[in-house]
Amino acid sequence: MEHPAPTPFLVQRGDDLVPNPIAHGGWGPTLGGQVVGGLLARAIERRVTDAELLPARLTVEILRRVASEPVRVSASVVRAGSRMQSVDAAMTQGGELVARASALYLRRGAQPEGAFFSTAVTLPPIPKEPAQFDDTVPMFIRTYGPTPDDDRHEFPWQQAGPRYAWVREIRDLVDGEELTPFIRAALAVDITSSMTNFSTDGLAFINADYTLALSRLPDGPYIGLAALTHSSADGIASGSAALFDRLGPIGTGLSCSIGNFNFNPNGNHTR
C-alpha cells in the first residue's frame, strides 16, 4: 500500500510561492529559516548551468521575519570566471526585501596530495526510517545528546554537552519538484543555530543568518550535524557545526544569532 506524499512546503502559483502551514518555523506564524534558505538556494542553483562547478558556499541573511504569505525569489549572476561563479538571490514579500543570499561556486579539479588536520567527530549511526513519515512535522530528524540513548533531559540538546542530529527531508520544497543535493544541504544547515544555541535552560537565540560551506555535495537523503562551537555575549551568539553524509564529512555550518525568548517548538504546525 502506497502512502500519500507528505504535504509540500510551498506551491507555485504564477510568480508567487505560496506556503502551506507546515512551512511555519518555531518562532511563530513565520516561514522557517530552512524554508527561506532552501528557496534562495533553489533560485541560485537555477542560474548555474556548468556541472563542474560546486556550490562551495551559501550565505543566507534573514533581514526580517518572513510572514507565512506568498513570496517571490529571484537570482542573478554577479561574476563568472574560469574557476568560479558568484550568484546573489533575493526574496521579497509585497515588494519588500525580506531575505537575501550569496553563493560562491568553485570549479572541481585535482585533489592536492598530503594529509590534512581536522578535529575528529564521530556521529551516531544513521537512524532506522519509520514505516511512514509523520506529515505533521517539517522533516524527519533524530537528535542526540552526549550518548545515543541519553534520556536525562527533556530534549537531547538541552544540556551543556555534545549534541548531534541526522536529518532527512521528507517533502518537496516546492510541490512537484525533486530536491537536489544542494537544496537538501541548504535546508539542513539551518539546524546549526538551534543545535549550537541550546543551553541547559532551553533555546533563547534566533538566527539572523547562516552559512553553508561545502567541500562536496551530500550523497543520499541523510545529512548529519555535530555541534562544534558556541560563543555568546550580550545577547549575540555564533555557532558552528560539522556536516556529514553517509560517506563522511561534507562541510561546515555557521550561524550568527540574537537573543530571542519566544521559541515554541510545539503547536506551530497544527492545521
Q: Convert the pLDDT of each residue in 85-136 to its tens digit.
A: 999 999 999 999 999 999 999 999 999 999 999 999 999 999 999 999 999 9
CB contact at 8 A, 205 and 232: yes
Residue 265 lies in a domain: no
In the predicted structure, residue 38 carries a pLDDT above the cut 90: yes
CATH of the domain at 81: 2.40.160.210
Question: Strand ranges (DSSP E) for the chain?
Answer: 10-13, 16-19, 24-25, 28-31, 53-62, 72-80, 84-93, 96-107, 140-144, 164-168, 198-199, 202-203, 205-214, 222-233, 236-245, 248-259
| Integer Cα distance of 63 and 56 in angstroms | 23
Q: What is the pLDDT of residues 175-201, one digit of tens each?
A: 999 999 999 999 999 999 999 999 999
Q: Is the dihedral of CA 138, 144, 149, 150 positive or negative?
A: negative
Residue 121 lies in a domain: no
Number of structural domains found in the chain: 1
| Integer Cα distance of 268 and 85 in angstroms | 38
- Beta carbons within 10 angstroms of residue 135's beta carbon: 16
Q: Specify the pLDDT at position 264.
A: 56
Residue 38 lies in a domain: yes
Residue 5 lies in a domain: no
Q: What is the pLDDT of residues 195-233, one digit of tens each?
A: 999 999 989 899 999 999 999 999 999 999 999 999 999
In the predicted structure, residue 73 carries a pLDDT above the cut 80: yes
The lowest-confidence range among 36-40, 66-70, 258-262 is 258-262
- Which strands, in side-by-side order, build the sheet including 84-93? 72-80, 84-93, 96-107, 53-62, 205-214, 248-259, 236-245, 222-233, 164-168, 140-144
User: What does pTM read for this prediction?
Assistant: 0.92
Q: Which domain holds residue 163?
A: 10-107+137-259
CB contact at 8 A, 196 and 165: no
Residue 97 lies in a domain: yes
Helix (H, G, I), strand (E, B) or coil at 102: strand
Residue 1 lies in a domain: no
CB contact at 8 A, 206 and 261: no
Residue 78 lies in a domain: yes
Residue 125 lies in a domain: no
Find the Cα–Cα–Cα–Cα dihedral 105, 109, 111, 117, rounded to 10°. -10
CB contact at 8 A, 11 and 175: yes
Which is nearest to 180 in space by CA: 172, 80, 249, 8?
172
Q: Which three cell numbers stand for residue 124?
A: 551516531
| Integer Cα distance of 157 and 25 in angstroms | 18
Q: Which residue blocks in 76-204 are alpha helix, DSSP H?
A: 181-188, 191-197
Grid-cell match 574560469, residue found: 82
Q: Which three cell numbers stand for residue 101?
A: 543570499
Local structure of residue 73 (DSSP, 8 states): E
